[in-house]
Amino acid sequence: MPRLSAPPVVKSLKEALNYLRGATTMEWAIVLACWFSLTLISLIISTGIAIDHARSRFTDDGNRLRHNIEQRLKTAELVMLGLGDIASESSLRPDIRLTRYASEAAKRYDFVYTMGLQPLVRSEERARFEQMEAQRYPGFIIKDYQHANEHNWKSRLQWMRAPERSLYLPWVTAEPSLPASANHVRGLDLLADDVVGPTLQRAIASAETELTPSFSLSDGASAFAYTRAVYPTQPPPDSPLLRREEAKGMLVLVVRTAALLDTGATPDDYELKLERADGAARHLDLILARHEPRQKASTLEHLLLPRLTSSQSISTPFFPYQLKLAHQVGFSILHAPTMVLCFLLSALPALMVLMMLGMRREARRSHDDVSESLHRERENAMVTLQAISDAVITFDIRRIVQYLNPTAARLMSIRIEEARERPLQELFHLRYEFSKQAMADPFMECLQRRCVVELAENSYLIRPSGDKLLIEGTISPLFDRSGSLQGAVLTFRDTAPVRRRMLEALEASEDRLREHEKELARVARINSMGEMTSGIAHEINQPLSAIMSYCQASLSLLEDDEPDLEMIHQAMHSAVSQAERAGKIVLRLRDFVSKRNQDCAPVDVNHAVLNALTLTEHEVLDSEVHLEYRPAANLPLAYADTIHLEQVVLNLIRNAIDAMQSVRPWGRLIIETSYFAERIRISVSDNGPGIPQETLERVFEPFFSTKQKGMGLGLTICQTIIESIGGQLSARNKTGGGAEFIVELPPLDARTFAQQAGVEPS
């Protein structure tokens, strides 16, 4: 089943994880610093955007407020105008028209607090006025208010009867009427009041509508008032003095600041201030109305965030006003999700930085690895070039030598430093003789064809010293990474040692051939010995048959009534002579294998056994016998005719193979050599039927054989051979079944060698 490769995203993620895992403390520090800085920058940017929003909202709010306030101020001035119209037509006494007008205005406009026409009382009229008013409001007096504590209107201590003055403006009318809590204000001499007095004085003198500064109402709320003097004649007198003399009362329209500014609809954190725009020129108290933010900004907000301000002009038919708005931007503009987003989004570039650092680290590491392996390879190449027996010369396309190894320097009898940067032709000349392939210039050939060029047969170099050096070698082109040709490498070797080695190898192979021939002769000899044995057996067979027929003839003669003793004697004599003949044949055989015929020499027994095994290899294989050969290590040499010894082992192996025919294919032949009790032993054992106990003694007798075509001479000859070199051949049955034949030989020592060689040891 084909293996599915991971998608590239997963691969990249895995890589990123690996980079993260391998990140160093320094890298983490850089990344965290990046993250922190990016979070800070994104927070600053998002705060900037939020401030921009706050600013545009502030501008919108400012415009809205300006528009609304302008409308209300214009309305207030219109109400004041209407009030003036009514007042100019009415007396100073309570007027139903004014009451209706006032209640209607108050109902329609919530910023209208109260209004009224307050009478101007001259000092000579004061007593009568007070008496008259006291009828409606018992205890009425014209009084002053000590502005020690503005919020303490109700305290009687703050009130006192007004001192003697030329003109009083006691507060008497209020439409809509004031709440009962404000009753104590009744009779207050407005002209002498510290807050509103100067404005009223000015209004009398100017005959214009004037605006009082801001003051507090009995309920603590802030207010200011429009005021205008009322004269009996229209237009009023020109002179301010006359105006003061003639003025009969003053209109006062009290406006509630909060309602005028509509502070309920103003954002909590806005600061509002309504000022007279012409005040500076006239040294007036500028502030008409003020609205403090209900929500206070913290010091940190003051420090870090901007304070937005705006100043807008409002112009009405009566006065120029200035509306001043201020707003301290607070942290509320920063939304938690935005901040979290900034934090998270900043993590992405920070992670990318981490990955880049990781990639840089990886790149550096792999660069180090590459340079390390490059260095190693260069070292390997250098060491190899220094060590090899071939000469190597590198040259560029102009045939200037770039490099040569010590072998090259040695072969050309030149120092490496001298050869470098020199043209190739200064170092040697390349020639060839008796070459079949004629080549003009192998260097040119290599550089032009850009392929490996073999030097022609019988090439030789003419060294700087002038002598010839027979060489063989190649010229290979050198390319750089882009595949362009850089030069070539000439590698060559001195063929003299090679030729010498070839000669030696030839001689060695000839030796081996001779050896092989000898071996062949030896094998032939072994085979001829076998044939000879069967020939001898055949020869012995003839006298034995003759003996048998003589004996049978003698027996039948003896059975006669009158045995012919002469004939019997003759027959027995002939039998004896035939037996002598057989004995002679056996003696001849013994002689053949006796000491005299043996070509004794020190023998490696293991080697002799191995030779015998080689000769019987096919028989072992054919008869499906499993062979185990256990040669002993460090076996001493024996002194024997190696061919005869091999003949013995060969015979024992063949007998074992014959015996194991009955257990085929489970035959197991074990051949073992050992050295024990100063005897070299060769044991040939099998897992055949073994030798019957009654015939165990007879197997070495001549002509004893249990085989159909056996001659019974093999073991006899073997015993003769072994005994002739001072050894022993014995047979036994193994306990687990099968027979074992043991050859025991004396090891070769100086004495044995001398004895066997017929020389007395010195």
Q: What number of chain residues touch ligand ADP (CB under 6 A)? A: 20
- Pairwise CA distance, residues 109 & 77, whole Å: 12
The CA-atom distances, in angstroms, between 139 and each of 129, 435, 445 are 12, 157, 142
Q: Cβ 532 to ligand ADP, closest distance in Å? A: 14
Least distance between ligand ADP and beta carbon 524 (Å): 22
CA pair distance 271, 715, nearest whole angstrom: 140
Give the separation between CA 589 and CA 607, rounded to whole angstroms: 27
Q: Are 685 and 656 in contact (CB under 8 A)?
A: yes
Amino acid at 116: G
Residues constituting the chain: 762
Binding piece for ligand ADP, criterion CB under 6 A, among 369-377, 490-498, 639-647, 710-718? 710-718
Taking the least distance from each CB to ligand ADP, the nearer of 379 and 628 is 628
**Binding residue for ligand ADP (CB under 6 A) from 711, 721, 729, 743?**
711
The reply on whether position 705 binds ligand ADP by CB under 6 A is: yes
Nearer to ligand ADP, 403 or 704 (CB): 704
The answer to whether 327 and 250 are in contact (CB under 8 A) is: no
How far is residue 579's CA from residue 574's CA, in Å, rounded to a whole number? 9
- Annotate 158-224 with DSSP letters as a single string: GEEE----SEE-B----BSPPPGGGGGGTTBBGGG-TTTHHHHHHHHHH-S-EE---EE-TTS-EEE
Nearer to ligand ADP, 39 or 687 (CB): 687
Nearer residue to ligand ADP within complex by CB, 90 or 594: 594
Number of CB atoms found within 10 A of residue 305's CB:
20
- For ligand ADP, the closer of residues 201 and 720 by Cβ is 720
Contacting residue, 406, 712, 726, 747, with ligand ADP by CB under 6 A: 712
Binder among 56, 384, 577, 706 for ligand ADP (CB under 6 A): 706
CA distances from 652 to 44, 659, 676, 692, 715 (A): 108, 10, 21, 17, 8
Q: Which is nearer to ligand ADP, 635 or 711 (CB)?
A: 711
Window 673 to 692, contacts with ligand ADP (CB under 6 A): 686, 688, 690-691
> Cα separation of 120 and 232, whole Å?
12
Compare residues 615 and 715 and give the one whose CB is closer to ligand ADP: 715
Instruction: Please say which residue, 683 or 705, places its beta carbon nearer to ligand ADP.
Output: 705
Q: Which is nearer to ligand ADP, 86 or 656 (CB)?
A: 656
**What is the nearest approach in angstroms of ligand ADP to the Cβ of residue 569?**
36
Using the rule CB under 6 A, which residue among 217, 682, 699, 743 binds ligand ADP?
A: 699
End-to-end CA distance of the chain: 84
By beta-carbon proximity to ligand ADP, the closer residue of 375 and 626 is: 626
The pattern of x and - marking residues 632 through 671 that bind ligand ADP according to CB under 6 A reads -----------------------xx--x------------
Q: How far apart are CA 476 and CA 487, in angstroms?
A: 9
Of 234-242, 451-459, 516-524, 709-717: span binding ligand ADP (CB under 6 A)? 709-717
Q: Which long-range CB contacts under 8 A does 411-418 form with residues at least 24 apart? A: 411/461, 411/463, 411/469, 411/494, 412/461, 412/463, 412/464, 412/469, 413/463, 413/464, 413/465, 414/464
In angstroms, give the least distance from the CB of 673 to ligand ADP. 18
Restricted to residues 715-734, the positions that interact with ligand ADP (CB under 6 A) are 715-716
Is residue 739 near ligand ADP by the rule CB under 6 A? Answer: yes
In the complex, the smallest distance separating the C-beta of residue 701 from ligand ADP, rounded to whole angstroms, is 8
Residues at the interface with ligand ADP (CB under 6 A) = 655-656, 659, 686, 688, 690-691, 699, 704-707, 710-716, 739
